[in-house]
């Protein structure tokens, strides 16, 4: 479904990604794990067409590496940005509606149906539908950012650090929702610094270090890999 081959991205003389290859099948949650500055966001931005790069990105067999961000989004690949970026002065419902209008044009019957789908996954957003987004908690803002992407009816959802800045119990709720969303048949590319969490919910994972993929494999294998345990899980018994 998504296949990346030999992807390299530079910011001026800084190489942010080097020779990245990645494979993702239907219905998977694929985790991209790495510490600050590893290149995780750059990889999502490369897929979305937001950064200049070389290499190939195939989506359902089509090379999308030269597509504009708008065309990538139109093909069904939607990115929930790091830091959420909800519209602070709009209500929850208005934020969600913007998601719909931006991606699919205005059809009010569709919007109501899609709102219900978002509210079913995140009942808290329904309770707060008329609240201004700036006054939501961090967890609620993250729900809103995911909900806004859902309004675009994604076929591949990319989440950039959905756990960032949230309390453990709120993170658990968010990850439950991510799993539920995936169970509806939506493939998810999940960027996370929290390797434990990411490996618990994903099928497959890639570890990114200084712009290169150093370890990859099934989530199960990675949880038991001593290199991953040492560097990312802090669980190795010596
Ligand atoms: N617009 C930019 N201009 C120049 N350098 C950039 C730009 N964006 C990112 N970089 C650099 O590219 C590298 C990778 O950054 P990136 O944001 O992709 O990392 P990340 O893994 O998402 O980190 P974090 O976990 O902190 O979000 C870093 O060294 C960063 O300084
Ligand atoms: Mg990032």
Mean pLDDT by 10 residues, the chain (238 residues): 96 95 96 95 97 96 95 94 93 91 66 93 96 96 95 95 92 96 97 93 96 96 91 70
**Separation in Å, CA 93 to CA 4, 31, 87, 125, 182:** 36, 30, 11, 8, 23
Q: How far is the CA of 224 from the centre of ligand 1 (A)?
A: 29
Residue 79 Cβ < 6 Å to ligand 1: no
Residue 52 Cβ < 6 Å to ligand 1: no
pLDDT of residue 232: 85
Domain boundary among 119, 154, 189: 154
- Is residue 72 in a domain? no
**199 and 223 fall within a common domain:** yes
Which residues lie below 8 Å from residue 163, measured CB to CB, with a gap of 6+? 171, 174, 175, 192, 193, 194, 197
Domain boundary among 138, 154, 170: 154
- Is residue 159 in a domain? yes
pLDDT of residue 187: 98
**105 and 149 fall within a common domain:** yes
pLDDT of residue 107: 65
What residues does 3 pair with on adjacent strands?
Answer: 23, 58
- Is residue 56 in a domain? yes
**Number of domains composing the chain:** 2
- Is residue 37 in a domain? yes
Domain range for 227: 1-67+155-238
CATH of the domain at 150: 1.10.8
Residue 10 Cβ < 6 Å to ligand 1: no
* Best residue for ligand 1 mutational test, from 8, 13, 16 (most atoms within 8 Å of Cβ): 16
Domain boundary among 98, 126, 154: 154
Neighbour tally for 168: CB within 10 Å: 9
Q: How far is the CA of 39 from the centre of ligand 2 (A)?
A: 7
pLDDT of residue 106: 54
pTM of model > 0.85: yes
**97 and 140 fall within a common domain:** yes
Residue 40 Cβ < 6 Å to ligand 1: yes
**17 and 118 fall within a common domain:** no
Residue 41 Cβ < 6 Å to ligand 1: yes
């Amino acid at each position: 479904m998504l296949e990346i081959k030999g992807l390299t991205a530079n910011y001026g003389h800084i190489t942010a990604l080097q020779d990245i290859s990645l494979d993702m099948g239907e219905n998977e949650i694929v985790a991209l794990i790495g510490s600050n500055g590893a290149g995780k966001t750059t990889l999502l931005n490369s897929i979305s067409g937001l950064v200049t790069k070389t290499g190939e990105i195939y989506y359902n067999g089509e090379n999308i590496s030269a597509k504009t961000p708008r065309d990538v989004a139109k093909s069904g690949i939607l990115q929930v940005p790091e830091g959420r970026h909800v519209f602070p002065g709009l209500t929850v419902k208005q934020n969600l509606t913007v998601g719909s209008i931006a991606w699919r044009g205005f059809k009010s019957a569709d919007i109501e149906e899609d709102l219900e789908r978002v509210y079913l996954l995140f009942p808290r957003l329904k309770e707060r539908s008329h609240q201004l987004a700036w006054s939501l908690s961090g967890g609620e803002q993250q729900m809103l950012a995911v909900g806004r992407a859902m309004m675009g009816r994604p076929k591949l959802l990319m989440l950039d650090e959905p756990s960032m800045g949230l309390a453990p119990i709120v993170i658990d709720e968010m990850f439950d929702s991510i799993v539920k969303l995936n169970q509806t048949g939506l493939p998810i590319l999940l960027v996370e610094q929290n390797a434990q969490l990411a490996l618990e919910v994903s099928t497959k994972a890639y570890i990114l270090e200084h712009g290169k993929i150093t370890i990859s494999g099934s989530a199960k294998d990675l949880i038991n890999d001593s290199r991953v345990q040492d560097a990312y899980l802090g669980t190795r018994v010596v």
